[in-house]
Structure 1
Amino acid sequence: MERPDDRRASALRFATELVAWVATPWALSRQSWVLAVVSVVVRIGRDRSRQRSYVSRSS
């Protein structure tokens, strides 16, 4: 059985992640630079935890 082509889904996810990484801190920086920094720290923590759970599932 051949695996379905998921390049479109991957491209959409990449674009969504890119927008989240750039737009969120940019929008929050208008209110407070502290909120912008906190949003980046939260994104880093979320991505690292997602990466760890992916590695543990694939092992």
Structure 2
Amino acid sequence: MHASVGDRLLVHGRIVGQHDRVVEIIEVLGPEGTPPYRVRADNGHEAIISPGPDAVVQHSKPQP
């Protein structure tokens, strides 16, 4: 998984009734765009996460 600042991370709900979450990547802490990432949710909450297989990067710019 590779991401850049400004990309969004879509984390799918893992149980029935749990909604997907979308957060913005505000800092890449791993080398060359790899996790962990500092993210910010719509409510302003910030966290450091290492996304699992239930997450997808939505790139803000087209990737080469």
TM range (shorter): under 0.3
Higher RCO (C-alpha 8 Å, min separation 6): 2
More strand, by proportion: 2
Q: Determine which structure has more spread, i.e. the larger CA radius of gyration.
A: 1
